[in-house]
Structure 1
Amino acid sequence: MEEDEEEGREEEVVEDKEHEKVEEEEEEEEEEEEDEEDKEEEEVEEEEEVEEEEDEEDKEEEEVEEE
């Protein structure tokens, strides 16, 4: 009887450890995905800034040409 109980407890511990490991891996994956999304957003923002700067430069050039 005691052996059965002990084995049951050991199995629970193993299952708990496996469950924790799976949760940690899922959290890591989520963090990596969020990091990737943040990186992509930053790149898009940088591109938009560059486009805005280029538009402003083009406007200034046009104004200079008109004068």
Structure 2
Amino acid sequence: MNPKEITKTYTNGEVTILWQAALCQHSGVCVKNLHNVFKPQTQPWIQMEHASSEEIVATVAKCPSGALSIVENK
């Protein structure tokens, strides 16, 4: 599989982050805004247990490329 075609999801039970590798420009906005959740040197690189759902949603909304998006769990 082409690494650029990778799509991954991460959830905390309240919200789910969808990450689309092909769209990611590696601007670092997510890491700079919420470094305790977005850790590119760690696996998994998104660790949602380290922030509130509100903080996560606010940070994902700042993603300039749209590689990160939120799906609210029902």
The higher relative CO (CA closer than 8 Å, separation ≥ 6) is in 2
Q: Could you tell me the TM-score, scaled by structure 1's length?
A: 0.19
Q: Could you tell me the TM-score, scaled by structure 2's length?
A: 0.17
Structure with the greater alpha carbon radius of gyration: 1
Structure having the larger proportion of residues in helix? 1
Structure having the larger proportion of residues in strand? 2
